[in-house]
Amino acid sequence: MAAGWGRGVMKRSAWAILLTVALAGPLAAAEPLKIGLAAPLSGPDAGFGQGARLGAEQAVAEINRAGGVLGRKLQLVVQDDAADPKQAAAVARRFAASGVRFVIGPLTSGASAAASTVFEEAGIVSVTPGATWAPLTRRGAGLLFRLSGSDAQQGALGGTLLAERFRGKSVAIVHDKTSFGRGLADEAARALKARGGGERLFEGVSRDDRETSALVAKLRALGIEAIYFGGLSVPAASLIRTMREAGLTTVVIGSDGLLDKEFSQVPGAEGTLMTVPAAPPRLPEPKGTRTPRGPEADLFAGPAYAAVEVVRQGIEAARSAEPARVAAALHGGAPLRTVLGEVAFDAGGDLVKPPFTVFAWRRLPDGRLDFAGNEVSP
């Protein structure tokens, strides 16, 4: 009798276990899928970070209203990295410890570089809406994707412009001795060479008048007709000013480093060409929003929204929330439809077609020098 009672208990226990598993299965499958957001929510870049947060929150809410991803709702986990590399690495470790396997951000290159190593080791897919540092995707990172064009891609476009618009002419490549400027210049030189061209002069220069004067003397001696300038607006302005004072009409091609209101005050800057990342479309405000987003927030609201869309479509394409499988699906190059338009990633995680626009600084009827509305064909 005792043995029979024991077998009965065992049978009932077995059924209880099966019932528990049956009930727990759907519940486990329905657990929210955590997606992290690493953005500067404090410090000087907080405006951009707040925009990224609003965009990511809006995307997650709309995806959840539509049923989620593979039957699972998304849960956004927000962390402030203050655009600081050390804090970004700490945030990445917190995401890894809490089971986050997909991250939107960081926004800046320094923060992304610091966090990406942690993400790779932890098996976390990250999609950065704004980091442009070229080596970011060249360090063997297989789980990193970016929705902005890289500095390398922008520099290559500058070199292409130099090759195609000044074919057979005497050209030079100049940089401002910063890592940003030198990186652009190196890529411009590669693109120029790939198209059968070559620079007569490759040199670095600062804003120092003595340096620019010496450089201008070299430009005159070599008969340079066009320059690709890699760097920021202040040293570029100094060089242009010195060239015009010396009577040189040499054309300058620059990057978005020239995006400075002071550049419009530079004598002789008219005709300067500038490559600029395409402005993201303005993300519609969610219904019921009382406080509209400001200009800074708008710069990253759309890209952050698109980054969530990329994660969703990667999971759906892989039919799995396993980061390695999702990364493989995204690396496949299939086009993804986002609020930024159609995007696709190459084997390194960069955009196949980076969104850059070429503008010319021109004199307006009212006498002002501006690039707005002066888009030219690449």
Q: What is the pLDDT of residues 167-196, one digit of tens each?
A: 999 999 999 999 899 999 999 999 999 999
Claim to verify: residue 259 and residue 301 sit in the same structural domain: no
Residue 26 is predicted with a pLDDT of 44
Is 12 part of any domain?
A: no
Evaluate whether residue 328 is within a structural domain.
Answer: yes
Q: Provide the 3-class DSSP secondary structure of residue 46.
A: helix
Mean pLDDT of the chain: 89
Q: What is the pLDDT of residue 373?
A: 77
Judgement on whether residues 318 and 181 belong to the same structural domain of the protein: no
88 touches 109 (CB < 8 A): no
Q: Is residue 15 part of a domain?
A: no
Question: Based on the structure, what is the number of domains in the chain?
Answer: 2
Residue 23 is assigned to a structural domain of this protein: no
Q: 369 and 241 in one domain?
A: yes
Statement to judge: residues 182 and 239 lie in one domain: yes
Residue 18 resides in a domain: no
Domain that holds residue 98: 31-146+284-345
Domain assignment of residue 25, yes or no? no
* Cα separation of the two ends of the chain: 91
Q: Where in 115-269 does DSSP place strands (E)?
A: 125-128, 144-146, 171-175, 201-204, 226-230, 251-254
Q: Are residues 256 and 295 in the same domain?
A: no
Percentage above 90 pLDDT, the chain: 75
pLDDT digits (tens, 9 = 90+) for 253-280: 999 999 888 888 998 999 999 999 988 8
- pLDDT band, residue 283 (cuts 50/70/90): confident
- In this prediction, residues 18-45 reach a mean pLDDT of 72
Residue 320 and residue 322: Cα distance in Å, rounded? 5
The domain that holds 328 is classified in CATH as 3.40.50.2300
Say if 1 falls within a structural domain: no
Whether residue 80 sits in one domain with residue 180: no
Q: Are residues 132 and 191 in the same domain?
A: no
Question: What is the C-alpha separation between 191 and 185, in angstroms, rounded?
Answer: 10
